Amino acid sequence: MSSALRDDGREKMKTQPFRFRGKRWRLVDTGSSADAQGGGDCQGPHIRNRTMMIPISGGTKYDLEVILHEARHACDWDACEEAVQESSEATAALLWELGWRKVI
């Protein structure tokens, strides 16, 4: 994960590369979704220099859902939004129920 200061002294968003099905995305940490009350975003596999905006540093169940949701888009771009949403919510619920937590 890379991070640096911007010209105004604030920290730049942290990024790191990751591959899904042989294509590379630049992962951008949006911080905890609890702070922003937002979701994520995944650019399509047809876009050059693709980015995926996800709450890498977050540790809530919702953050896990967002990460799984955007990863599912990257892995199966043609899946309908309803299927992506349902599968990411169910997978996050299962992992959360089994005790998976992010160690911060």
The answer to the question of residue 87 being in a domain is: yes
The domain in which residue 33 lies consists of 15-97
The answer to the question of residue 102 being in a domain is: no
pTM for the full predicted model: 0.82
The answer to the question of residue 70 being in a domain is: yes
The answer to the question of residue 104 being in a domain is: no
Give the tens place of pLDDT for each residue, 2-17.
Answer: 444 445 444 556 778 9
CA 101 to chain centroid: 15
The answer to the question of residue 51 being in a domain is: yes
Share of residues in the chain with pLDDT > 90 (%)? 69
The answer to the question of residue 61 being in a domain is: yes
**How many domains does the structure of the chain reveal?**
1
The answer to the question of residue 28 being in a domain is: yes
User: How high is the pLDDT of residue 31?
Assistant: 85
Share of residues in the chain with pLDDT > 70 (%)? 80
- Band of pLDDT at residue 35, cut at 50, 70 and 90: low
Cα(4)–Cα(59) distance, rounded to whole angstroms?
A: 23
Question: How many other CB atoms sit within 10 Å of the CB of residue 17?
Answer: 10
